[in-house]
Amino acid sequence: MNKLIYWLDQQSFFPLRTEEYDKEGKLAFVNVRTGTRANPALGDHGYVVLFDLWWDIPIDLLSASIHGILPRSWSEEDKRIFFSPGFMRREWFLEPPKSLMVLNSPDEFYLRPALEKGQFPEERKIELPAALEGRIEAQEREGRLVF
């Protein structure tokens, strides 16, 4: 990648959006996220990601993840167990996932992130294939993903 642009909350510096630009300087990848203050004791530093949406623009691929990170108090015994070399090699599921999200059609997935073309035009080169522009226009008109 040629360039990264971060969109940050001005008070907490929580990253709301990340854009990656290819070697020609064109927008190639967008990540948007929502967060919540999961640890109020940390003030503006206590935010965690609740939801991430990634958009790989050249192949028009969307992927998402939902997070459920909660603050946890670690006892000395917990620290010895969970922060040991043996445990660190494993997955970090301290509790089993409750369910897996399954989508049956594009109607159930998230829309492509807004391109925000008017924002910082001198820093952002957005050139999309005509077919993708058409899908984005149809998405905005119909209020659902269109392929």
* Per-residue pLDDT reduced to its tens digit, 15-67: 899 999 999 999 999 999 988 887 888 887 777 887 889 999 999 999 888 77
The pLDDT value recorded for residue 90 is 58
- Sheet with 15-21, strands from edge to edge, namely 3-8, 15-21, 27-37, 47-56, 61-66
**Does residue 76 lie within any of the structural domains?**
no
What total of structural domains would you count in the chain?
A: 1
Answer yes or no: is 95 within a domain: no
pTM higher than the cut 0.75: no
Within-domain flag for 125: yes
State the pLDDT at residue 145.
86
What is the radius of gyration, based on Cα positions, of the chain?
19
| Domain annotation covers residue 105 | yes
Q: Are 126 and 114 in contact (CB under 8 A)?
A: no
pLDDT at 5: 95
Residue 133 CA, chain-centre distance (Å), reads 22
Name the least confident of 8-12, 37-41, 70-74: 70-74
The three-class DSSP label of residue 27 is strand
Distances (CA, A) of 132 to 18, 31, 113, 147: 20, 18, 13, 9
Q: From CA 99, how far away is CA 76, in angstroms rounded? A: 31
Strand locations in the chain (E): 3-8, 15-21, 27-37, 47-56, 61-66
Average pLDDT, the chain: 83
Report the pLDDT value the prediction gives residue 92, as an integer from 0 to 100: 57
- Residue 90 belongs to a domain: no
pLDDT on residue 60: 95
Q: Compare 81 and 101 and report the one with higher pLDDT.
A: 81
**Whether the Cβ atoms of residue 46 and residue 40 lie closer than 8 Å to each other:** yes
21 lies in a domain?
A: yes
- Residue in 17, 13, 4 with CA at minimum distance from that of residue 124: 4
pLDDT, residue 112, reads 93
Least confident of 50-59, 79-88, 97-106, 128-137: 97-106
Q: Determine the average pLDDT of the residues in 77-106.
A: 64
Pairwise CA distance, residues 6 & 16, whole Å: 8
Within-domain flag for 94: no
Task: Name the residue range of residue 9's domain.
Answer: 3-71+100-142
The confidence score (pLDDT) of residue 69 equals 64
